[in-house]
Amino acid sequence: MPLHYEYLPATGTPQQELVLLHGWGCNLEVWRPLLVLLRPWANITVLDIPGVAPGCDATAGPDLADLIANILDSCPAQAVYVGWSLGGLLATELAHQNPERASAVITLCSNPMFVAGPGWPGMDAAVFADFAHGVKEHPGAALKRFDTLQVTGARQPRALLRQLQSLGRGSATGEMLAGLAWLQALDMREILPVLQQPQLHLLAAGDALVSPDVAPCIAALAAEKPVPVEVLPGACHLAPLDIPELLARKIRGFLDATGVLQECQGRAPDWEKAAVAASFSRAASGYDSVAQLQRNVGEHLLSCLDEAPDTAGTVLDLGCGTGYFCAPLRARYPKAQYLGLDLASGMVDYARKRCEPGGEWLVADAESLPLASESIDLVFSSLTVQWCARPEHLLAELSRILRPGGLCVFTSLGPDTLSELRAAWATVDEHQHVNTFLPGADLLAAAERLPGTVLSLQEQIYCMEYTRVRDLLDELKTLGAHNMNRSRPAGLTPRRALQGMLQAYETKRSNGVLPATYEVIFGVLKKL
């Protein structure tokens, strides 16, 4: 089954997929300082490892094969695996067993064989056995003792210990004996010399758990095929928290030098989010007066919830607009906490005033939600997704905030929306006068790259009717949904071009009215 994970798309142009595996006694939060430094160029997957992270049940049991299968199920098809401490052993074993899934392996403060053996430096076997006994009898006290060892050798150990203890880890339990069993059993000394992928091994000079003395031993393993092994000065075992800037430079430099980074040219958004937010903020007071299509689509979307359980504890109205659907959502889920969120501050202000007290309101971007992971049971989002030009960011955020078993129902506009208006403008010039929206295929492709989620789509055509084309144009302006493309023509449209467009649109008149087609995509995203 998929593990608890987060998939964080790059904030800039993605050049590689990274999977970060934490060590014993920590959880995915240990990577937070490093994430902001890696995300400008990398898509990142972080996950909690059962039997290793405090409070994370060992659902994989002591079977290492099951654990690796669960990690692979939660990660991209191919990635660079970065493992810290025990995570380094797991990353190496995973890459060896599944070479097609790993582009490179980087270990941080990780000993290929953690427990000392003949001629191999490591933790004394008797000390390890005593520690494992302590975890079995008094896991909380053992974890505190381990935390002290992790920060030993740091430049500011007390501050680092406070930072470690603020990571939101669960309570230590006997389940963590599974991780200790893997730490004792794994021996990568025969695997490192034959590993197919590029590899980098970083150690810390002040590490009290993995001695830097192991550096020449690691280098000797790969004598016929030298690999970089480096000891980082002034650092302790807890390197991801202690020296994130240095680690980020080392990781990027290694991947760049080995040719693992790949330039991936993403599609540039057709509009600026600030312009979208400003336009809809200005439209808040008049929006509902012309929002018949929006009401029709949203009411149909509400019916998609008929088969969903009524047990949601937290409901997010994503792109809440004027708060029109606040009342029906709160009536359907009376015990749930309602959260209205929109990119446009003007819309949120309007919604807060019109809706009954009891909900919470946020101004935020759907592609970067200021919400805790696994904090939402149900997301309702009607005609907002079309303003998100990076579907991989949107779906990753939805997957992150949904609890396991959570659901997101949404609607979006497809590329055939307002096809009549687009065709009429095309008869007079080559400028882009109508907003262009992503096809459903782009949403499906983004979902396929996102482990642990299932997306299903249906399309439906809505046809609105108008007496005059100007009525349609005025409605779009009142809604705040007028042309916001970067490539829209500058300045006022010449009178002759406008008249030509109006005449071309008149050829679509039937039974005394002019049609305006909207391609509406209905989506259901399930978090497994």
What does the alpha-carbon distance between residue 300 and residue 275 come to, in Å, rounded to a whole number? 29
Tokens standing for 333?
A: 């889920």
Helix axis angle, 495-506 to 419-426, nearest 10°: 130
For the chain, counts of helices (H) and of strands (E)? 19, 14
Give Cα separations from 528 to 131, 245, 374, 437 (angstroms): 36, 34, 12, 28
Q: What span, in angstroms and rounded, lies between the C-alpha atoms of 208 and 372? A: 33
Among residues 85, 110, 281, 412, which one is catalytic?
85
> Is 242 an active-site residue?
no
The DSSP output letter for 400 is H
Instruction: List Cβ neighbours of 407 (8 Å cut-off, separation of 6 or more).
Output: 308, 377, 378, 379, 524, 525, 526, 527
Residue 336 and residue 329: Cα distance in Å, rounded? 9
207 included as an active-site residue: yes
On the CB side of 423, CA atoms within 13 Å amount to 14
CA 198 to chain centre: 26
Listed in order, strand segments (DSSP E) in 10-101 are 16-21, 42-47, 79-84
Within 10 Å of residue 331's Cβ, how many Cβ atoms?
8
For residue 513, list its beta bridge partners. Answer: 510
Contact yes or no for 423/365 (Cβ under 8 A): no
Point out the catalytic residue in the list 48, 207, 365, 377: 207
Tell me if residue 345 is catalytic: no
Distance CA 464, CA 449 (A): 36
Tokens matching residue 64: 């290492």
Closest CA to 34 of 74, 83, 76: 83
Question: In 3D, which of 429, 509, 412, 437 has the Cα closest to residue 468?
Answer: 509
Cα–Cα distance list, 524 to 5, 26, 227, 268, 447 (Å): 20, 34, 47, 26, 11
Catalytic residue among 96, 237, 393, 433: 237
Q: Tokens for 462, please give them.
A: 């809505």
Question: Which amino acids are annotated catalytic?
Answer: 85, 207, 237
